[in-house]
Structure 1
Amino acid sequence: MNLEGRKIIVNKSVAELVEMLNKPEDYKTLMPESLQSFETRDNGFKFSLKGMPEIALKIEEVTDSQVVLKSASSSLDFALRGTMAPVSDSQTEIQLLFDGNFNPFIKMMVEKPLQNFINSLTDNIEKL
């Protein structure tokens, strides 16, 4: 299952974003309003949103062109990738991409909430 967020322009340099996205605690500011809990872990974090099960993510990779967050659970196989491209010295274009391997039943249940989550993250990133 592949989902895409819209492309946005953020008023931060790629270097500023890379620095921020390397710190698990900084992801809390990007979370939707429905956030119920947030806890940092070694190189990652776990969180829960209203009406959704707890999700644990680990920061897999942060480079000048992308950040990759992967599921920390062996039972769920997915990655959330943020692609970054400099627009200027102080602006960066970002797009969120979700790749998950789910069975058809799970896909049907999670597709809409995940798209809403990606849209909310995109909105919050845009406010940076």
Structure 2
Amino acid sequence: MNLEGRKIIVNKSSKELVEILKSPENYKDFMPDGLQKFETREDGFKFGLQGMPEIALKIDEVNDQKAVLKSASSSLDFSLTATLNPLNENQTEVQMFFEGNFNPFIKMMVEKPLQNFINTLTDKIEAYK
């Protein structure tokens, strides 16, 4: 299952964004309303949203072109990637991509909530100061 967010322009350099996205505690600022739990770990974070199971993510890779978060659970196989495209010294184009291997039943249940989650992350990153 593949989902994608809209392209946005963030008023930060790609280097600034890389520094933000390397740090697990910064992801709390991008979480949707209804966040009930957020706990950082050395290489990632765990969060819980109202009405959804808790999800643990590890920061797999962050460089000038992308930030990749992967599931920290062996029972779920997915990744969330933010592509970073520098436009100039102070602006970067960002787009979120979700890639997951789910059976058709799980896909049917999670597709809409995941798309909403990606849209919210996109909105929060775009508004980030």
The TM tier, using the shorter chain, reads over 0.9
Match of 2:38 in 1: 38
- State TM-score, norm by structure 1: 0.99
Name the SS of the counterpart of 1:119 in structure 2.
helix
Match of 2:88 in 1: 88
Match of 1:67 in 2: 67
Name the SS of the counterpart of 1:68 in structure 2.
strand
Report the alpha carbon displacement of residue 121 of structure 1 after superposing the two structures with TM. 0.3
Match of 2:112 in 1: 112
Match of 2:25 in 1: 25
CA–CA separation in structure 1 for the residues paired with 2:103 and 2:51: 21
Report the alpha carbon displacement of residue 34 of structure 1 after superposing the two structures with TM. 1.4
- The code of the aligned residue for 1:114 comes to L
Report the aligned-residue RMSD. 0.4
Show structure 1 runs of 5+ residues with no match. Answer: none
Aligned residues: 128
Name the SS of the counterpart of 2:46 in structure 1.
strand
- State TM-score, norm by structure 2: 0.98
Q: Give me the identity figure in percent.
A: 71
Match of 1:47 in 2: 47
Report the alpha carbon displacement of residue 122 of structure 1 after superposing the two structures with TM. 0.3
